[in-house]
Amino acid sequence: MRALIILLTFITIGNTSHSQIDKNWLLIARNSGNYIAIDGYEVRLMGFTASLGAPVLAPGPTLRATTGDSVKLRLYNLSQGAPHTVHLHGLDVNQQNDGVPSLSFDIEHDSSGYYYFKAPQPGTYLYHCHVLSAVHVQGGMYGIIIIDAEDPTVTWDGGYAFDKEYHWMTSEIDTIWHNDTIINHEEMDGMPSHIPKVYDPQYFLVNGAMDFQQEEKGDINIHEGIETKILLRLISIGNFANKYTFPAELNATIISSDGRPLPAAEESDTLWIFPGERYQILCDPLTEFIDSVRVDYHELSMGAAKGTQYINVVIEGVFDLPVTEQVAITFYPNPSETYLQFSTQAFSYSIFSLAGALVQEGNITDGLVNTERLKTGNYLIQIDSGDNMNTFYFNKK
Ligand SMILES: [Cu+2]
């Protein structure tokens, strides 16, 4: 496993030729971001964007590649201030978890730096600026890295299949750390003019959103049908520890930690995550329910929680169609990629989401149903053979 870590190399451009790049990532470092809190209070952010026109948000863009890809990451520093780097946290972790190795080179204002590496084993990782980490990470210079398996519907080769995924990156904001002096700092002897002595955050974030902002972001709250296998990617980049509490009905199983499969998956409704850690959780809800995942934000002493966020979970019941045994009718392939072939000369079909929404219908020609336009997930298909109706589950890959 550790041998893979060695694959990660940092090489400045010009030192080597790279015959083939599978994935090009661009991050632009900016100092001009702002975060508007739920009470309207505004703070400055430093952060990363994927394009010049994009707003500077924290977290920055999610970066994604497939295991084995040759990745080229360009960091373009347009921040007008301090130098920045991208530290690929977890992709090169071969140290004890007591410190981040300082492998990066600084990239000054109005210049670019390049990082080349092989995408490691599939999993969830993170990046952050490594210049004055305490200040620049609090400033907002962080984001998620996802490395997919060659088959992106499984967690890793020989791992778990999943239908949907959610990423939750937790952090906090202490407004004192976001004033102009700190965000605009020019490095003096490697230090900004001052670093606050105290860290006492007022805002507790999931993907940069708090409370009702989560709804507005749209990709945080869970809303799925039962029997949807949900992969949660949990990433902590704040200075606090997070205690997650999952509803029992989610059937949460911890399957990997810091990019590595756990030797034995562990069913658990609670999980502590410390700064820099990543966990993957597989959920397999079998009943209809509405509840929330609770995230508590604790100082590292794990005393009383200083903040709490609730992430809504809505699992809808299966549409009430009687699912028949496949006695007279067979079909293949399941999972389906582009079509379903039925053994019967039926007249028509209807495809429903597990929540009961009609998503596609039509007539069946030569026993074939085209499934190309369906999104990945589980569905019910109802076949009208003239004298009877048959309903089946199938999965669209
Ligand atoms: Cu920085």
Residues 6+ apart with CB under 8 A from 238: 170, 171, 172, 201, 205, 275, 297
Q: Tell me the domains of the chain and their CATH numbers.
A: 2-158 (2.60.40.420), 169-316 (2.60.40.420), 331-396 (2.60.40)
Place of tokens 């989610």: 250
CA 58 to centroid of ligand 1, rounded, Å: 13
Cα–Cα distance for residue pair 366/388, rounded to 1 Å: 18
CA 84 to centroid of ligand 1, rounded, Å: 4
CA 30 to centroid of ligand 1, rounded, Å: 9
CA 140 to centroid of ligand 1, rounded, Å: 9
Neighbour count for residue 29 (Cβ, 10 Å): 29
CA 31 to centroid of ligand 1, rounded, Å: 9
Q: What are 30's two structure tokens? A: 């900016």
CA 94 to centroid of ligand 1, rounded, Å: 23
CA 54 to centroid of ligand 1, rounded, Å: 18
CA 320 to centroid of ligand 1, rounded, Å: 54
pLDDT of 6 reads 38
CA 57 to centroid of ligand 1, rounded, Å: 14
pLDDT of 321 reads 60
For every one of its 397 residues, what pLDDT tens digit does the chain have, with 9 covering 90 and above? 344 333 333 333 334 445 699 999 999 999 999 999 999 999 999 999 999 999 999 999 999 999 999 999 999 999 988 889 888 888 853 333 222 435 556 888 999 988 888 899 999 999 999 888 889 999 999 999 999 999 999 999 999 999 999 999 999 999 999 988 888 876 555 555 568 889 999 999 999 999 999 988 889 999 999 999 999 999 999 999 999 999 999 999 999 998 889 999 999 999 999 999 999 999 999 998 999 999 999 999 888 999 999 999 999 886 666 666 545 677 888 889 999 998 877 788 999 887 778 899 998 888 899 999 998 888 888 888 777 778 888 888 8
CA 99 from chain centre, in angstroms, equals 24
CA 371 to centroid of ligand 1, rounded, Å: 46
pTM to 2 decimal places:
0.75
The phi, psi pair for 5, rounded to 5°, reads -65, -35
Q: What are 371's two structure tokens? A: 């499934």
CA 62 to centroid of ligand 1, rounded, Å: 17
pLDDT of 347 reads 80
Cα–Cα distance for residue pair 246/244, rounded to 1 Å: 6
pLDDT of 190 reads 55
CA 305 to centroid of ligand 1, rounded, Å: 29
CA 137 to centroid of ligand 1, rounded, Å: 7
CA 96 to centroid of ligand 1, rounded, Å: 23
Strands (E), 12-129: 23-36, 42-49, 63-66, 70-77, 87-89, 111-118, 123-128
Cα–Cα distance for residue pair 33/343, rounded to 1 Å: 58
| Three-state DSSP state, 4 | helix
CA 237 to centroid of ligand 1, rounded, Å: 15
pLDDT of 13 reads 38
Contacts 24+ apart (CB under 8 A), 327-332: 328/390, 329/383, 329/385, 329/390, 329/392, 331/392, 331/394
CA 129 to centroid of ligand 1, rounded, Å: 5
pLDDT of 195 reads 82
CA 98 to centroid of ligand 1, rounded, Å: 21
